[in-house]
Structure 1
Amino acid sequence: MTPSSPTESPAEELASDANRPGAAPARPPAARRRTVATKPSVKVRAIQAAVIIVVLAAMGLATEWRDADAPATTAAAEQTFDPAKFGAETFPKVAPLIEQNATALTELVPALTADADAAGEKYGKREGSSPYSFPVTVEGTGAELNGSLLSLTVEGLPKETQVWVQVGPAITGTSLRDATGTIKFGDFLNQVQYADAGTALNNEVRTKVLAGVRPNTLKGKKIAVTGAFTFLTPEVVTLTPVKFEVTP
């Protein structure tokens, strides 16, 4: 009985395998356990790229571009605008322009009824796509007083057309600001200042035009008004006056 060969050690087994014809060079056990680093998958790289794009876009949206001549700070620019000063300086310029360019209301209302856009381009002014504002003049008879509004009965207008004149104390709207076309939104820092400009002109009407007017005494009186209104419908005309005359 042939005795069995002794069991080979791992090192001897490797050496034996290496000596076999055509065998590949043996690697030590440590090399077999080496972990090869893998590159990020296509999906991971796409997500990383998308995150970078979003961050850059957000940075662009958060960036405020200013002209070199623009005010240093918004707060400082806002402090330079004084509505009361604007009204006092601008109303004496606006009122004569409205008087010079005023269209008789008895002419304008039929034109608005026939073709509002054509009448707006011919007689009115507006900023962007806002409603047209018109400088007008009208004579009528004082009628109903409704709060800060005085109704006028005007001959030569359609019966369905109501004419109201703002007689205070509240004067609202932006007709005076918009009717001449000389006051633009771009002249102001923001919408707040633009609105304040309209209010400032209305305040001048109350102190300069209507200071001596007693609305509750105007019923039945002959009244001549020159002013402006913003068009919404030819059936209702609400005037802000720059000239208000009552026949004794």
Structure 2
Amino acid sequence: IWAAKVVPYLQQKAGAFAQVHTLATTDPAAAGAKYGNANKQANSPWTFAVRLEGKIIAANTQSRAATVDVDVDGDGKADARVQIGPAVRGTALRDSLDFIQFNDFTNQIDFAQFGKAFNAYADKTVLSELPREALEGRSAKVLGAYTLGSGQDLPLVTPAEAEIGPKP
């Protein structure tokens, strides 16, 4: 379902990161109605589909859960942290999709394994292709999802599509 449903859904639903994040921090329900999964479980946080473009200002590739910090608005400060794998945390991709619901699964374990499988597939088909060296200063272009208030200071975006530009 990745190429047939997941990526086209995210392409259609995603908003520009700066717009989505501004709306999400002021009116999460309005942002959720427009960029999120309206069928989310009542007590779970909103997850939003986003397009993000900017300059990589920091990279952590020492960890298996590697990330790059991206400046979207050109002020020299990171606005989002993008996961580049191979280990991908969270279930933002799964949770952003309105055609996949918890009730479609036998139990919580199956639902969790489905989320993990999404992350593994994203790593295998998208993230593993990304460069790992000399990332600072390069451009980044991402289509993905993030969960509001994931406990980090920077929103943690999980890509479904990602490109890193050439060295400056």
Fold shared per TM-score above 0.5: yes
Runs of at least 5 residues in structure 1 that lack an aligned partner in the other structure = 1-89
Q: Do the aligned residues in 1 keep the contact of 2:55 with 2:137 (CA within 8 Å)?
A: yes
Q: Which has the higher helix share?
A: 1
Q: Deviations over 1:200-226 (max 9, x none)?
A: 000011110112212233211011111
Residues 139-218 of structure 1 mapped to structure 2, 5 A cutoff: 139-146=53-60, 147=63, 148-155=66-73, 162-218=79-135
Runs of 4+ in 1 over 6 A off after TM superposition: none
SS of the aligned residue for 2:133 comes to helix
Q: 1:240 aligns with which of 133, 158, 168?
A: 158
Q: Deviations over 1:82-101 (max 9, x none)?
A: xxxxxxxx322212211121
Q: Do the aligned residues in 1 keep the contact of 2:28 with 2:46 (CA within 8 Å)?
A: no
* 2:140 counterpart of 1:223: yes
Structure exhibiting the larger radius of gyration computed from Cα positions = 1
Alpha-carbon offset, residue 116 of structure 1? 2.1
CA RMSD of aligned residues (A): 2.1
Q: TM-score, normalised by structure 2?
A: 0.85
Equivalences, count? 158
CA distance in 2: counterparts of 1:123 and 1:243, whole angstroms: 17
Q: TM-score, normalised by structure 1?
A: 0.59
SS of the aligned residue for 2:120 comes to helix
Q: Which has the higher strand share?
A: 2
Q: Identify if the C-alpha distance between structure 1 residues 155 and 245 changes in structure 2 by more than 3 Å, giving closer, same or farther.
A: same
**Structure 2 partner of 1:91:** 2
Alpha-carbon offset, residue 174 of structure 1? 0.8
CA distance in 1: counterparts of 2:34 and 2:128, whole angstroms: 33
SS of the aligned residue for 2:86 comes to coil
Q: Percent identity?
A: 36
CA distance in 1: counterparts of 2:26 and 2:105, whole angstroms: 36
Q: Deviations over 1:11-57 (max 9, x none)?
A: xxxxxxxxxxxxxxxxxxxxxxxxxxxxxxxxxxxxxxxxxxxxxxx
Q: Do the aligned residues in 1 keep the contact of 2:47 with 2:95 (CA within 8 Å)?
A: yes
Q: Deviations over 1:103-135 (max 9, x none)?
A: 001111111222223222332112332111111
CA distance in 2: counterparts of 1:245 and 1:153, whole angstroms: 15
SS of the aligned residue for 1:217 comes to coil
Q: Do the aligned residues in 1 keep the contact of 2:54 with 2:74 (CA within 8 Å)?
A: no
Runs of at least 5 residues in structure 2 that lack an aligned partner in the other structure = none
CA distance in 2: counterparts of 1:104 and 1:134, whole angstroms: 11
CA distance in 1: counterparts of 2:11 and 2:134, whole angstroms: 25
Alpha-carbon offset, residue 150 of structure 1? 0.9
CA distance in 2: counterparts of 1:216 and 1:127, whole angstroms: 39
CA distance in 2: counterparts of 1:120 and 1:235, whole angstroms: 20
Q: Do the aligned residues in 2 keep the contact of 1:112 with 1:120 (CA within 8 Å)?
A: yes
